[in-house]
Structure 1
């Protein structure tokens, strides 16, 4: 049994993305509608996901485009306010992701009681955001300094819109990441949000680190969920749940329910040892 059962309540867990609209300080923040509108839309999307039967939610500043790797205080403050406003509605486990800043994600988790964090914790990349470096040793020490040692860490080892500065096989990345950092999960992604995770790469990672939770991080849809969940321990799902399956749209409750009905049917056929 993995920690998914203990923390989220099920194996083959579906962690749904709740994408926040642009926030104060972001280039596309709507100052006329203000934070009240951002909160209203976040609540609507969250309730659609929760009522549709997802297992957990990951709150993210997905529309803070273009992303920073050193996120400003106003972003974290705005995200904390949104989650605080939603707290009485939240009945399922949740995590947070402050793109793309691992320390700020942990700060937000500590402030809100999030159970997990997804981030880029390791590696040096050539990315759309410039050269992207990390300092996992400092990040983990920061986690313990702020009292967030029980927050589960989901390591994205195939960052979106980025590539390792040095050529490395995915098996090598997975093995060394697990050996050096003891992640709670490895996330395997496609190129961008909504882009399908390559099932062959997913399998190579899982075969390399069978004792570690491996999640399909992008692009799971109705037509590939059985194939991917037969390999992965669960998935992070965002774009699929939106109207017409488009990243920029809001959550469609009917799509959430149909997807989760199929997931639950798939899970019912699995015998866990």
Structure 2
């Protein structure tokens, strides 16, 4: 997966647009125009703050369907993505929660979106929706049938879940890439807003080879400079909200501060590597 080709940078910050409740969800308010307006506001704030891509997610539909969402959710998300693609000049991805990867792929294929996020691509995870089984076989065949070059980013040991058995980070990443055929992997903490450890990110990078590894949760203005040297990119939303509150809309100022802190972390890493290489040359 060539991150530069999609995001115009080798270390993208991907901002998440958390959609308000969609039709058929328990908290649906009956007005899709309000959902679209909020999505436009968040996408614009993220773009003005300097992120390199967006991912649209039906975050406020909780409690989520275990696998396949209602067709009305697919229709609504398609309308939103189509509108955002006309509004901001950024690559867009999809995450259809909890694990409707085929719907995400279908929306992406019809709207020109570049990638999707899949919570469980390989293995079995115990979640608040019950046991969710990855179905990489079906998803990869579906992508082939659609004839779409849509990249698949898959969570490894996804948040808000526990694996059956005790797979190591290394094993989980290798299975997701080599047996699940993911184009990249995502490493998160235990829940929304919880960051992965640098050690887990490093293990994932070692196991992933030339595939990118994304931070999937818990990245903040305060910790991103520390985390990003161990990753290929970051998916972020909660810490960019006004006052850091999940229910609030995206704050463009906080977004700009986050992107700046991330760039500083990458600059520090390059300087450290340059010093290390210079020291080795002298020895």
TM-score range, shorter chain: over 0.9
Q: Does 1:171 align with 2:170?
A: yes
Alpha-carbon deviation of 1:175?
1.6
Alpha-carbon deviation of 1:54?
0.4
Paired position in structure 1 for 2:280: none
TM-score norm. by structure 2 comes to 0.90
Paired position in structure 2 for 1:256: 255
Written as runs of structure 1 = structure 2, the 5 A alignment for 1:52-201 is: 52-68=49-65, 69-99=67-97, 100-119=99-118, 120-148=120-148, 150-201=149-200
Q: Does 1:234 align with 2:233?
A: yes
Q: Give 4+ residue runs of structure 1 displaced > 6 Å after superposition.
A: none
Asked if structure 2 preserves the Cα contact closer than 8 Å seen for 1:96 and 1:118, the reply is: yes
User: In the aligned structure 1, how far is the partner of 2:199 from the partner of 2:130?
Assistant: 29
Gaps of 5+ in 1: none
Q: Secondary structure at the match of 2:137?
A: helix
Deviation string, structure 1 residues 174-218 (Cα, Å, up to 9, x no partner):
122222133211100112221112222111111222322111100
Deviation string, structure 1 residues 17-62 (Cα, Å, up to 9, x no partner):
011000010000112xx01111111111110000111010011111
Asked if structure 2 preserves the Cα contact closer than 8 Å seen for 1:194 and 1:239, the reply is: yes
Closer/same/farther in 2, CA of residues 210 and 227 from structure 1, 3 Å limit? farther
Q: Secondary structure at the match of 2:246?
A: coil
Q: Secondary structure at the match of 1:17?
A: strand
Deviation string, structure 1 residues 82-119 (Cα, Å, up to 9, x no partner):
12223321211111111121111101111111111111
Paired position in structure 2 for 1:211: 210
Q: Secondary structure at the match of 1:236?
A: strand
Asked if structure 2 preserves the Cα contact closer than 8 Å seen for 1:158 and 1:190, the reply is: no
User: In the aligned structure 1, how far is the partner of 2:51 from the partner of 2:134?
Assistant: 31
Q: Secondary structure at the match of 2:179?
A: helix
Asked if structure 2 preserves the Cα contact closer than 8 Å seen for 1:193 and 1:247, the reply is: no
Alpha-carbon deviation of 1:7?
1.0
Paired position in structure 1 for 2:27: 28
Asked if structure 1 preserves the Cα contact closer than 8 Å seen for 2:238 and 2:246, the reply is: yes
Deviation string, structure 1 residues 65-96 (Cα, Å, up to 9, x no partner):
01112211110100111122233212111111
Q: Secondary structure at the match of 2:86?
A: coil
Q: Secondary structure at the match of 1:87?
A: helix
Alpha-carbon deviation of 1:266?
3.5
Asked if structure 1 preserves the Cα contact closer than 8 Å seen for 2:122 and 2:175, the reply is: no
User: In the aligned structure 2, how far is the partner of 1:266 from the partner of 1:195?
Assistant: 19
Q: How many positions carry a matched residue from both structures? A: 269
Identify, as 1 or 2, the structure richer in helix: 2
Alpha-carbon deviation of 1:264?
2.8
Closer/same/farther in 2, CA of residues 169 and 266 from structure 1, 3 Å limit? closer
Asked if structure 1 preserves the Cα contact closer than 8 Å seen for 2:225 and 2:266, the reply is: no
User: In the aligned structure 2, how far is the partner of 1:260 from the partner of 1:161?
Assistant: 26
Alpha-carbon deviation of 1:227?
1.5
Alpha-carbon deviation of 1:268?
4.3
TM-score norm. by structure 1 comes to 0.94
Alpha-carbon deviation of 1:134?
2.1
